[in-house]
């Protein structure tokens, strides 16, 4: 057997294999199978595209072949379904355009009674729309409005708190006034302590000074107790008190 003869056989076999592979792919793609065309209608063409899959129970059974606009302004969607899948489309079937948040849009065929008559090619059922995107927006919108109102309330509360704490009649200025008064009382107490040193030198005068010392110490103790009560009142009661020191 000559070399040219072997090469010729190889080329013929390779070509035959390629042709068989192409035929197999064509059969799998349904190029040689017959199909049936159904016409659907919709009030809007939004969301529909040529080549969109037609799905039954999660399996592709057809595709959108063309989109047209009727004389009445109604969108006509023509779908092609291979003969082997026609059995799923019945007269009682209804069609839904499903547009999920994630994934491609598709036309879903729902058939409750598979024993019902087949859908006539002359009948034009309407496609219902289920839009997860719009539904999600409608659900999120009230939440965003609530967050916005909450933000405004927080800003208002913060501004009021700043005024109550740092304003002219706020808590900190009143506390500063109390502390200044306490400082004055402590200076007075320091003067009294100096007098105590003099008491040790003069017992007679010390008796009178001890009485004054006791009165001054009692006054300072009462002042400190009043300061503690005033500060607690400033922190906890709702209305700002007017503090008068003794």
Domain ranges of the chain: 1-32, 34-135, 167-236
DSSP string, 167-232: STTSHHHHHHHHHHHHHHHHHHHHHHHHHHHHHTT-HHHHHHHHHHHHHHHHHHHHHHHHHHHHHH
* pLDDT band of 212, cuts 50, 70, 90: low
223-235: per-residue pLDDT in tens?
766 766 776 666 5
Asked if residue 77 lies in contact with residue 64, where contact means CB atoms within 8 angstroms, the answer is yes
With tokens 């009661």, the residue in question is: 237
Q: For residue 24, give the H/E element and its range.
A: helix 3-29
- The answer on pLDDT for 8 being more than 70 is yes
pLDDT at 68: 92
Structure-model confidence comparison of residues 238 and 2, the more confident one: 2
Quick one: average pLDDT of 195-209? 59
Distance from C-alpha of 195 to C-alpha of 206, rounded to nearest angstrom: 9
DSSP single-letter state for residue 90: B
CB under 8 A, 24+ apart: contacts of 24-32: 30/82
Cα distance between the two ends of the chain: 131
pLDDT at 206: 52
pLDDT at 238: 46
SS3 content of the chain, % helix, strand, coil (to 5): 55, 20, 25
Average per-residue pLDDT for the chain:
76
Distance from C-alpha of 242 to C-alpha of 233, rounded to nearest angstrom: 10
- The answer on pLDDT for 205 being more than 60 is no
156-173: per-residue pLDDT in tens?
776 666 665 556 666 666
* pLDDT band of 244, cuts 50, 70, 90: very low
Distance from C-alpha of 139 to C-alpha of 119, rounded to nearest angstrom: 37
pLDDT at 132: 54
Quick one: average pLDDT of 177-189? 70
Structure-model confidence comparison of residues 150 and 215, the more confident one: 150
């Amino acid at each position: 057997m000559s070399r040219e003869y072997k090469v010729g056989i190889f080329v013929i076999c390779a070509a035959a294999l390629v042709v068989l592979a192409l035929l197999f792919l064509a059969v799998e793609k349904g190029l040689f199978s017959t199909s049936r065309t159904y016409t659907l209608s919709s009030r809007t063409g939004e969301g529909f595209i040529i080549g969109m899959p037609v799905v039954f129970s999660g399996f592709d059974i057809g595709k959108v072949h063309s989109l047209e606009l009727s004389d009445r302004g109604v969108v006509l969607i023509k779908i092609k379904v291979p003969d082997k899948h026609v059995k799923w489309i019945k007269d009682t079937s209804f069609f839904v355009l499903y547009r999920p948040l994630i994934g491609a849009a598709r036309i879903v065929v729902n058939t409750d009674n598979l024993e019902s008559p087949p859908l006539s090619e002359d009948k034009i059922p309407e496609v219902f729309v289920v839009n997860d995107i719009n539904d999600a927006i409608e659900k999120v919108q009230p939440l965003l409005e609530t967050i916005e109102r909450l933000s405004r309330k927080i800003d208002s509360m913060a501004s009021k708190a700043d005024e109550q704490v740092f304003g002219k009649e706020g808590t900190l200025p009143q506390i500063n006034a109390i502390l200044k008064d306490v400082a004055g009382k402590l200076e007075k107490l320091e003067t009294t302590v100096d007098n105590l040193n003099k008491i040790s030198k003069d017992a007679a005068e010390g008796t009178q000074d001890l009485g004054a010392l006791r009165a001054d110490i009692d006054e300072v103790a009462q002042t400190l107790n009043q300061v503690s009560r005033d500060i607690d009142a400033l922190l906890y009661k709702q209305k700002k008190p007017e503090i008068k020191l003794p």
